[in-house]
Homo-oligomer: A and B are copies of this chain.
Amino acid sequence: MFPPVSLDVGTAIKTLVLTLDLLGTFVFALSGAVAGVRRRLDLFGVLVLSFVAANSGGIVRDVLIGATPPAAIRDWRYLAASLLAGAMIFFWYPNIRRLRSPVLVFDAAGLALFCVAGAQKALVFGLSPVMAALLGMLTGVGGGVARDVLLSEIPAVLRSDIYAVAALAGAAVLVSGDALGLPGTVSACAGAALCFGLRLAAIKLDWHQPVARAARQAPDDAAAAARRDGR
């Protein structure tokens, strides 16, 4: 009945999502660049790590669902946001280092947005709800995994606190809302809020996930096994 208005709302939401998406990209790129500077990579290496940390999750998701070329490669703004973050860290690292706590908050915001947006896109491409939720989680954590693999480390997300779980929870809310027929914006906001809240609470309260009993009870045994495995 009022298409101009609904168009305006749609445009406003699209602009909001794009803004948040680029902000998430920027923040994740910061994390990649900081890791690169600490390992003393050169300028090129730092920029590559910025791009990889910010965009790998989305790229892998798009390749898996058959949406090639991936958005991060089709739209120059993701590249620009990544390179800007990488250059800022490279040249101003000592000053930015002090901002650790704001960076963690931004990172939680990026994670919240990426998990919701990733699950939404997977649903659009016809994946089942469970897989869409997992791909949403992958969108959120994939960049950090790729960053750590390139730096020859065990991905932090595999052994740290409530990070991937928060992303999965947020994606699950979006997918459930879709299954229940709720409007997309409502479930997207609820999912992002849940992920963001869980992540902040985990940081604040120092929540951790359980480690297998065997490893806990017999640290020497586990260490010996690790040594025997070659490290």
Q: A43-B210, A73-B135, A210-B43 are in contact. Are A38 and B222 (CB under 8 A)?
A: yes
Give every chain B residue within 8 A of A230 (Cβ-Cβ): 153-154
A14 at interface, CB cutoff 8 A: no
A74 at interface, CB cutoff 8 A: yes
Give the shortest distance, in Å, between A54 (CB) and chain B (any CB).
Answer: 14
By DSSP majority rule, is chain A's interface helix, strand, loop, or mixed?
helix
A28 at interface, CB cutoff 8 A: no
Number of copies: 3
A215 at interface, CB cutoff 8 A: yes
Judge whether A155 and B159 touch: CB under 8 Å.
no
- Count of chain A residues with Cβ under 8 Å from any Cβ of B? 67
Judge whether A158 and B70 touch: CB under 8 Å.
no
A154 to B151 CA separation, bound complex (whole angstroms): 5
Query: What are the 8 tightest A-B residue pairs by CB atom distance, in nearest-first order?
Result: A45-B158, A66-B68, A42-B209, A93-B214, A40-B215, A38-B225, A37-B212, A41-B159
